[in-house]
Structure 1
């Protein structure tokens, strides 16, 4: 998403909520009350999280990328509205008009104007803020004040993108009824069998590995040993090798794919 999209998103979301609740808060005398602030904050956060999900699905925008884009837009908005308020307060627009009737200033004129602005806003890049505005930025005049931009920042600070991601994570799949054959295939596909077989005492004893796996799977150790022997030894009859069952192997692989596991 382009940066101006984030600015548009933040501002429009804020204005929509302000408009939606304007009549209610004024008719009930709740302007600037804690009730209305908390309600607006909740609505703002819900809308932003909803837009974040859309951005992820349609544009493959990560949570971090979306959050950073919004933060940059809010910083820009704060600086823009603060500078505009400062210019209005100090009647710098009048001075600006005296220099030139156009909205654009050249380098020398900007230098003169910068000298008129106190050290209070020296941190801002005056050239950027006096450059021609986009149509959308021009439309903000009179709609978003310096106070509004601070409220937007306050509303945004409480959004927990990571918690929302966890909350919306799909429920786990129950595989408790998995057969012994499937369990051995799972252990093989997940790399557990190979990992354990490289460790002592399992490196030299498949029997001991079968004993441990019987504790994990709940199956008899003799049954497990008849399955894993042909997996690790080509010299043994592989009629009991669970990997020979293409249908069962495919079933296990599909289950692992469903949970986004990368099968090697």
Structure 2
């Protein structure tokens, strides 16, 4: 967009529909890039400030020839802008380079907005979009932090033999393997396989599996009967986001 087209956009802003205004802002700011949004707001403010300064020069020392409310408001606005120049003892360029919302207070905005009606609409719209984008950025940051926490590595390698078997049981792996041959007919085969996975000796695993999977077997070696250890394993799984049954 050229400088002339940008000025036309600013001047005609109040006459556009809300949809077209918002669409144009999205296009100009690369889908609401926060830096571009704030830059566009500054450019808009400077554009209208320059218009106010031109008005101040045109009406300096002159009383409006007509008695309309607009003329009197324009005259008062020109005095306001001239006062800013005199108080700062600076050039118009210096004044234009300052932020408009720093130069003009809330009550004085109403005076300037009366002359440049598009200012109120644009400043409201752009501030809403800036707040919207900032809220999205905050939400994305929080989600990123949560993902970082979720992806945290927790080392459970020091678990004892009973805990290792309970981990497999609570994760449903023992039940799953029990449905596959040859494990569906041989607990010894299942013990051999799990020994390779866990590093626990087969002679230690076999009695635990036998007590867990065969009814009528003594509960002495059944790890599920160790309530304290079961709760520890369940809590560890909960810590990594798995709801054990």
Whether TM exceeds 0.5 here: the answer is no
TM-score between the two structures when normalised by the length of structure 1:
0.41
TM-score between the two structures when normalised by the length of structure 2:
0.44
Larger radius of gyration: 2
